[in-house]
């Protein structure tokens, strides 16, 4: 059984969940951080990108 996916625009609400994660990544890794969401075939994929080095 699979659940229906959700639209990326619907899942990033200010001050919650993925929005908080996005802001934390940006504060740790600056411009090299990214949070991408792609929806297809009733599913969503969330990818996290960073600089590859540990924050100081």
| pLDDT tens per residue across span 14-56 | 888 888 988 998 898 888 888 888 877 777 888 888 776 555 4
DSSP state of 52: S
Q: Both tokens of residue 8?
A: 């990326």
Q: Which domain holds residue 45?
A: 8-49
Beta carbons of 10 and 19 less than 8 angstroms apart:
no
Number of domains in the chain: 1
- Domain presence at residue 54: no
Phi, psi at 30, each rounded to 5°: 65, -140
Q: Residue 25's CB: how many other CB atoms inside 10 A? A: 19
- Domain presence at residue 1: no
**Whole-structure pTM value:** 0.62
- Domain presence at residue 42: yes
């Amino acid at each position: 059984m699979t659940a229906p996916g959700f639209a990326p625009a619907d899942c990033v609400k200010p001050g919650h969940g993925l929005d908080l994660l996005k802001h934390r990544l940006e504060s740790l890794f600056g411009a090299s951080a990214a949070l991408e969401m792609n929806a297809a075939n009733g599913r969503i994929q969330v990818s996290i990108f960073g600089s590859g080095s540990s924050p100081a």
